[in-house]
Amino acid sequence: MEIKRAWYKEMSFYQIWPRSFKDSNGDGIGDLGGILEKLDYIKSLNVDGIWFSPLYVSPNNDYGYDIADYKNINSEYGTLEDMKKVINEAHKRGLKIIMDLVINHTSNEHYWFKEARKSVDNPYHNYYIWRKGRGKDGKKAPNNWKSNFPGSAWEYVPECDEYYLHIFDVGQPDLNMDNPAVREEIKGIIRFWLDLGIDGFREDVINYISKVEGLPNGFPLPVMTGMEKYINGPHLFEYLQEFNEVYNEYPEVMTVGEVLLVNEKKMLEFIGEDNQVLKTMFNFEQLEGDCIKASWAHTHFMLPKLKKIYEKWQRALYGKGWNTLFLENHDQPRIINRYGDVNYRTESGKLLATMYIMQSGNPYIYQGQEIGMLNLELPNIESYPDVNSQTFYKAFRKFGFSDKFAMKRVHYSARDNARTPVQWDSTKNAGFTTGEPWFTVNPNYQEINVEKEEQNPDSILNCYRKLLKIRKENDVLIYGDFTLYYRNSKKWFVYSREFEGKKALIICNFTNKEIKAKVPKEFDLSKGTLLMSTYIDHNELSGNTYIAKPYEARVYLF
Ligand code: GLC
Ligand code: CA
C-alpha cells in the first residue's frame, strides 16, 4: 500500500481545557496568562501543536461549548490581545494552534439567538431551527427527539409560539445550517481566526450540522432519540466542502472533526485523500475498550476488544485517509482508571502511552494525561459542575436507580473527572492558583504533579517525551503499516509497523506480573535496537525473549 507523506501526518497535539490549565491572576480560573507561562513546558513534551477547547465569550452552561461571541475571548481568560501573544509565542516555539469550532449550536446568549427569539419575523429567526408544537393545544414538542444530555431536545418560546431545537443543553440552540446566511457567518468566523494567525480547527460535533428535512420522529431510545435523523445528515458533505473552500485560501490548515457514530467507510467519505473535506476526524471507537458506545454504559476493560478496534481502524484508513489517536479529552474520564491500573499508576500509564502513540495517526494528549492524573470521587451530585453529569444522574434516578448506584456511575464516567485543575506541584491548590480554585483540586496532588514527574527520569511525563521524540525520529513510527499479533490474548498487545524497509515491534504487557515476553516468530530481538522500554531498569534479553516487568512496554527497531 502506497502512503503519501504530508506535514499534518507527522504532527502531535496537546489539548488544553483552559479553565483548569493554569491561573495567572489568582481568581481561581485558568487563563491565557497561565498558558503563556507554560508554553515552554508544552514544547518540552515534544508535541507540535496545541488544541484549545473554547476560549470564546460564553455563559459557561457547557463551559465554553456554548458560544455567545465567536470573535472575542472570554474575559475570564483574557483579551484578544493576550490571545495574539499566545499565538505569537507558540509559533516562535514551532507550535501550531488549533481552536475549537463549535458551529452546530450557539449559546442562547448569542446576539443572533437573542434576536431570533423575539418574534418569528425577526431577521435572525431563521438562523435557528423552529417548529410549532404538536397536539390539539400545540403543547407537545414538535417531534420525539431527545437531547444528548438526557432530557427533551425542544424548548418553547412564548414570544414566537414555537419550539427551538437544542441537541445539547437548553442553553445551546442548534443553528439552521440550511440557511445560507448562517453558513456565510461560519465562513466569516473561520476567516477571522485564520487571519489572526491560528493554524486550524477542531470541529465540534461536526457531523450533526445537517438535519433530515421535515425533522421526522426518531427511533425511540432512552437518550439521543432522533440521532439517525441528524448524524451524517443529507447536506453534511456539501457544507463541509463549502467550509473547505475557505480553508483552501490559506496554506497548511489543520482540521480535525469530532464525529460520533461514524464507521471507517463513512469516515473515508470525508477524510479520504481523494475527496478530503477535513484532514482528519476523531474515531471514538478507540474509547470503547470498557464500554458500549459511551463510558456511561461501562463494562469491564476488554483488551481483545480494544485490539480489534485498533486493528480495524489501522487497516481501514492506512494509505487512504489519516487517523487520530487519543485516550482522553475534556469529555472523558481519565484513562488509567479505565484501561489501566490505579495500583500501578506509573507503570500502566506508561504502557497505555506506548500502546497508542506508536500506532499510525496523530497522537493527541489531554492536559494532565501526561502526568497520569486520575478520576475524582466527590460525595454528592451537587459537587459536580458539569451539566452532563447532572442530567445523567437525574436520568438514572428517574429510571429508578438508587443514589448510590447513580453516584457510582458519576464517579466512573463524569466529564468532571478530566476537568479538575492541572496538578503542577505539591504546594497549596497544586500550584494551579494562588486563590480559590473554581473546581476541586484532586486531593492526590501531593503524590501526582508535574514537579514530581519532572524529577523522576522513569516517570509517565518523561515517557511521553521519549515516545513523541522517537516518533519524530523514525518515519516507520509515523508512516508504517500496522500488523497485530496474538489477537485474542488477554495479556499481550503486540503489533508491528513497517515502512520503506524498516520495521518496528511494539510489545505491551497488559498484566501486573513479571512474565516472559511473547515475541512473534519472524522477529529476532537480538538483531533489533531497543528504542525504548517503559522501565529504565528493564531485564536483559535471554534468547529471543525477556522477562517483562509489570505493565512493561517496549519498542524495537529493525
Ligand atoms: C462536544 C464537546 C462537548 C460538548 C458538546 C456540545 O462533544 O466535546 O464538550 O458538550 O460537543 O458542544
Ligand atoms: Ca485567572
d(CA 232, CA 194): 26
Best mutation site among 52, 207, 331 for ligand 1 pocket (most ligand atoms within 8 Å of CB): 331
pLDDT digits 0-9 by tens, 454-500: 999 999 999 999 999 999 999 999 999 999 999 999 999 999 999 99
* 160 CA → ligand 2 middle, Å: 39
Which of 244, 224, 329 has its CA nearest to residue 283?
329
CB 39 within 8 A of CB 88: no
Three-state DSSP string of 231-249: CCCCCHHHHHHHHHHHHCC
- Across all residues in the chain, what is the average pLDDT? 97
pLDDT digits 0-9 by tens, 215-270: 999 999 888 999 999 999 999 999 999 999 999 999 999 999 999 999 999 999 99
Q: Are strands 294-298 and 324-325 parallel, antiparallel or unpaired?
A: unpaired
pLDDT value, residue 267 = 97
As a whole number, mean pLDDT of residues 322-347 equals: 98
The residues annotated with a catalytic role in the active site are: 204, 258
* 367 CA → ligand 1 middle, Å: 17
Question: Quick one: which H or E segment has residue 185?
Answer: helix 180-196
Atom in ligand 1 nearest the alpha carbon of residue 149: 10
pLDDT value, residue 150 = 81
d(CA 509, CA 362): 23
Residue having the nearest C-alpha atom to atom 5 of ligand 1: 65
Atom in ligand 1 nearest the alpha carbon of residue 330: 9
Residues in CB range of 370: below 8 A, 6 or more apart: 14, 45, 453, 460, 461, 464
Measured from the CB, is residue 51 less than 6 Å from ligand 1? no
Measured from the CB, is residue 270 less than 6 Å from ligand 1? no
- Look up residue 462 and give its amino acid: N
Measured from the CB, is residue 100 less than 6 Å from ligand 1? no
Residue having the nearest C-alpha atom to atom 2 of ligand 1: 204
Measured from the CB, is residue 65 less than 6 Å from ligand 1? yes
Instruction: Give the DSSP per-residue string, 281-344.
Output: EE-GGGG-TTEESEEEEE----HHHHHHHHHHHHHHHTTTSB-EE-S--TTS--HHHHTS-GGG
Buried b (16+ CB within 10 A) or exposed e, 531-552: bbbbbeebeeeeeeebebbbbb
Q: Is a pLDDT exceeding 90 seen at residue 301?
A: yes
* 332 CA → ligand 1 middle, Å: 11
188 confidence band (pLDDT: 50, 70, 90): very high
Residue having the nearest C-alpha atom to atom 7 of ligand 1: 205
Q: Pick the ligand that lies closest to the CA of residue 78.
A: 2
* 17 CA → ligand 2 middle, Å: 13
Which of 249, 284, 255 has its CA nearest to residue 270?
255
Q: Is a pLDDT exceeding 90 seen at residue 537?
A: yes
Which of 211, 225, 316, 340 has its CA nearest to residue 263?
316
pLDDT value, residue 76 = 98
| Strand stretches in 357-473, DSSP E | 362-366
CB 101 within 8 A of CB 53: no
* 173 CA → ligand 2 middle, Å: 28
Residue having the nearest C-alpha atom to atom 12 of ligand 1: 65
Lookup result for grid cell 507558540? 90
Q: Residue 312 burial by CB count (10 A; 0-12/13-18/19+): exposed, middle or buried?
A: middle
Measured from the CB, is residue 331 less than 6 Å from ligand 1? yes
pLDDT value, residue 151 = 85
Measured from the CB, is residue 102 less than 6 Å from ligand 1? yes
Q: Pick the ligand that lies closest to the CA of residue 259.
A: 1
Best mutation site among 15, 19, 62 for ligand 1 pocket (most ligand atoms within 8 Å of CB): 62
Q: Pick the ligand that lies closest to the CA of residue 32.
A: 2
Measured from the CB, is residue 168 less than 6 Å from ligand 1? yes
Q: Is a pLDDT exceeding 80 seen at residue 1?
A: no
* 204 CA → ligand 1 middle, Å: 6
Residues in CB range of 261: below 8 A, 6 or more apart: 227, 231, 232
d(CA 255, CA 504): 29
Q: Is a pLDDT exceeding 90 seen at residue 158?
A: yes
Measured from the CB, is residue 204 less than 6 Å from ligand 1? yes
Which of 21, 144, 154, 150 has its CA nearest to residue 409?
150
Measured from the CB, is residue 169 less than 6 Å from ligand 1? no
pLDDT digits 0-9 by tens, 134-148: 999 889 999 999 999
Q: How many CB atoms lie within 10 A of CB 524?
A: 12
* 23 CA → ligand 2 middle, Å: 4
Number of residues that make up the chain: 558
Q: Pick the ligand that lies closest to the CA of residue 17.
A: 1
As a whole number, mean pLDDT of residues 82-98 equals: 98
d(CA 195, CA 190): 8
d(CA 396, CA 63): 23
Atom in ligand 1 nearest the alpha carbon of residue 65: 12
159 confidence band (pLDDT: 50, 70, 90): very high
pLDDT value, residue 18 = 98
Q: How many CB atoms lie within 10 A of CB 252?
A: 11
Which of 393, 385, 390, 387 has its CA nearest to residue 437?
385
Residues in CB range of 92: below 8 A, 6 or more apart: none
* 530 CA → ligand 1 middle, Å: 40
Q: What is the DSSP letter of 552?
A: -
Q: Are strands 56-57 and 69-73 parallel, antiparallel or unpaired?
A: antiparallel
pLDDT value, residue 404 = 97
First to last CA, the chain: 20
Q: Pick the ligand that lies closest to the CA of residue 37.
A: 2
d(CA 349, CA 346): 5
* 80 CA → ligand 2 middle, Å: 15
Q: What is the DSSP letter of 479?
A: H
d(CA 4, CA 41): 32
At 485, list the grid cell: 499479533
Measured from the CB, is residue 63 less than 6 Å from ligand 1? no
Q: Are strands 200-203 and 96-101 parallel, antiparallel or unpaired?
A: parallel
**Over pLDDT 70: what percentage of the chain?**
100
Measured from the CB, is residue 201 less than 6 Å from ligand 1? no
Instruction: Give the DSSP per-residue string, 442-473.
Output: PGGGGTS-HHHHHH-TTSHHHHHHHHHHHHHH
Best mutation site among 56, 205, 417 for ligand 1 pocket (most ligand atoms within 8 Å of CB): 205
Beta pairing partners, 140: 134
Best mutation site among 20, 65, 201, 230 for ligand 1 pocket (most ligand atoms within 8 Å of CB): 65
As a whole number, mean pLDDT of residues 300-316 equals: 98
